[in-house]
């Protein structure tokens, strides 16, 4: 239960770093979730496995989140934002 509770906190961290412009762009539905949120979950799982079930500290998690969002914005086809 603690893992689920703490994991939900990472979602808040991701959404807090999301540029407001992404909330209103048509054609981006699901792309951010797929390339940032799901990817973070995958990396978090690897971290848990490789570190005896220990969650990353906040600085490490924030660095990964920043990197995923930056990569997402840089790899886009319209104004730095990927579309479907």
Termini Cα distance of the chain: 35
- Spatial distance between the Cα atoms of 65 and 68, rounded to a whole number of angstroms: 5
Q: Can you list the pairs that 47-52 forms with residues at least 24 positions away whose Cβ atoms lie under 8 Å? A: 48/3
What pTM was computed for the model?
A: 0.78
Query: Which pLDDT score is estimated for 54?
Result: 93
Query: Which pLDDT score is estimated for 73?
Result: 85
Kindly report, residue by residue over 15-65, the tens digit of the pLDDT. 888 776 665 555 656 788 888 999 999 999 999 999 999 999 999 999 999
């Amino acid at each position: 239960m603690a893992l689920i509770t703490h994991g939900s906190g990472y979602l808040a961290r991701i959404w807090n770093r999301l540029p407001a412009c992404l909330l209103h762009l048509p054609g981006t539905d699901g792309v951010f979730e797929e390339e940032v949120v799901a990817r973070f979950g995958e990396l978090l799982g690897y971290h848990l496995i490789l570190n005896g079930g220990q969650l990353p500290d906040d600085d490490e998690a924030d660095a990964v989140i920043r990197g995923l969002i930056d990569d997402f914005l840089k790899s886009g086809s319209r104004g730095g934002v990927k579309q479907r």
